[in-house]
Amino acid sequence: MSMWVSGRSLQILCACAFCAVAFFATHIVKHPLIAVVLSLAPFGVLILVKRPFWLILGFVIFSFFRIHEVFPQLYPLRIPQLLAMTSIMALGWSIMSGRLVLKIPREHATFLVFFALVTVGLLMATNRGAAIGTWTGSYVKIAIMTFAITWLATEPRDFRLTASVVVAAGMVVAAVALFNKANGLELVEGTRVTIGRSIGSMLGDPNDLSLVLLFPASFALALLLTRGSGWMAKLYGLAAFCLIVAAVIATQSRGGLLGIMAVSGVFGYRLVRNKVLLFAVGGVALIVLVAAAGISSRASGGAHEEGIDESAMGRVYAWQAAMSMAVHNPLTGVGLDNFIENYWEHSPHWDGKNHAVHSTWFGVMGETGILGFVAFITMVIVTVRSALWCCKALKPDRLTRPSKDDIAAYVMAQAVLSGLAGFCVSGTFLTMGFTWPIYILLALTAAVANYARQKRLS
């Protein structure tokens, strides 16, 4: 570091810059929030240099949990855009300074194949404008951050921070959802809670909201059930999990409830020796969750619909349409974000309007073709196998007291494994093939696998 400014000097410079910018912001900028953001900018530079992973994590949290839509007052600050720019700068700084060694783990190799197929499919999309817009607007950012997370999350403190922040974000979203439910705000069909539906938020769909809440549920359970995590972490995990489950129940999403069961089932399978008892308790728990959610009273998919309800038949028709798209376009599919537009041409049942696919697997199949579907499945399988290996490799010895670093890595390994289980189960009913969850899980799995390999070599 002889050619760079020392850490202590950099902190002093940032403090001086803070005072100067604060003075400027107070006298020139009229909006108080913008003044605060400008005043904190020098410390952002310090974080960029010393802790670049913090910026990456901040961008992921805002983009995935849509914090600026949960609290619309934050929208004018353009925090996701600011974090995106600084995250790219942080990644570039880490590469140029030599702190970051670029390696492609096997999990990312399978992702690169799928990403390449999606990119090639843009040229063959039925609506190139929509496909390219989605690719440039969100998917390429997800791809970049997938690599950034793996490359920059290299130490147990990064795993510890990720678990804490993800759980905190989940609690915030869950609390707002329950507040809306209690006050009758942003409801769909009169009973299903959403967030930001009136402003066009992604969380304005109850199924998407339940999907977002599933992700922190796995981290909360990992904190709660990992031996040696500490009573504060266990209490934190318990409170978060209860709050998140209550919010998922409020969405009345069947995919969300199944996802909660899958996340819980992974921990139950690993901790409960009597598997018959485990499945019996799991069955009862599912019945209780369905009853608590009041799914029978839903306007769609409720008990008043005889036989296979309208909601379920809509999914069946959409899945048939996806298979037709893949058969007619086996190499490229209809293109990214082109399913709804092509629904009318491939669905066996046309009711006058297009429908969403409501399935990760069939959505990927329809939009990327059979070839893309195989690549996606391969990516998921490789990630699951890697997560299983991490849990086995990092499991603490019962005869010794594990260190805090070992506990942090093991918490992360269990969280990504249960998160993958929740994704695979809920993904059958929720559309998330091109959204954040699977790619964050892939990135964190690769990161903790790198740590486990290094630990074995040391």
pLDDT in tens, 217-241: 999 999 999 888 888 999 999 999 9
Q: How far apart are CA 66 and CA 57, in angstroms?
A: 13
For 52-59, what is the mean pLDDT? Answer: 87
Q: Which amino acid is at 166?
A: V
Q: How far apart are CA 265 and CA 258, in angstroms?
A: 10
Lowest mean pLDDT among 34-38, 73-77, 327-331: 34-38
Q: How far apart are CA 334 and CA 355, in angstroms?
A: 15
Whether the predicted pLDDT of 56 surpasses 60: yes
Whether the predicted pLDDT of 4 surpasses 50: no
User: Is residue 26 very low, low, confident or very high in pLDDT (cuts 50, 70, 90)?
Assistant: very low
Q: Which residue has the higher pLDDT, 8 or 365?
A: 365
Whether the predicted pLDDT of 288 surpasses 50: yes
Contact (Cβ atoms closer than 8 angstroms) between residue 366 and residue 131: no
pLDDT in tens, 376-395: 999 999 999 999 999 999 98
pLDDT at 85: 81
Helix pair angle (140-152, 106-124), 10° resolution: 170
Q: How far apart are CA 406 and CA 84, in angstroms?
A: 31
pLDDT in tens, 170-190: 999 999 999 999 999 999 888
| Paired tokens of 411 | 């918490």
Whether the predicted pLDDT of 365 surpasses 80: yes
Rounded to two decimals, the pTM is 0.84
Angstrom CA distances, 116 to 112, 120, 143, 166, 240, stand at: 6, 6, 11, 29, 38
**What's 45-81 look like in SS3?**
HHHHHHCHHHHHHHHHHHHHHCHHHHCHHHHHHCHHH
Q: How far apart are CA 248 and CA 255, in angstroms?
A: 10
**What's the chain look like in SS3?**
CCCCCCHHHHHHHHHHHHHHHHHHHHHHCCCHHHHHHHHHHHHHHHHHHHCHHHHHHHHHHHHHHCHHHHCHHHHHHCHHHHHHHHHHHHHHHHHHCCCCCCCCCHHHHHHHHHHHHHHHHHHHCCCHHHHHHHHHHHHHHHHHHHHHHHHHCCCHHHHHHHHHHHHHHHHHHHHHHHHHHHHCCCEECCCEECCCHHHCCHHHCHHHHHHHHHHHHHHHHHHHHCCCCCHHHHHHHHHHHHHHHHHHHHHCCHHHHHHHHHHHHHHHHHHCCCHHHHHHHHHHHHHHHHHHHCHHHCCCCCCCCCCCCHHHHHHHHHHHHHHHHHHHCCCCCCCCCCHHHHHHHHCCCCCCCCCCCCCHHHHHHHHHHHHHHHHHHHHHHHHHHHHHHHHHHHCCCCCCCCCHHHHHHHHHHHHHHHHHHHHHHHCCCCCCCCCHHHHHHHHHHHHHHHHHHHHHHC
User: Which candidate, 285, 280, 281, places its Cα nearest to that of 245?
Assistant: 285
Q: How far apart are CA 445 and CA 421, in angstroms?
A: 13
Whether the predicted pLDDT of 5 surpasses 50: no
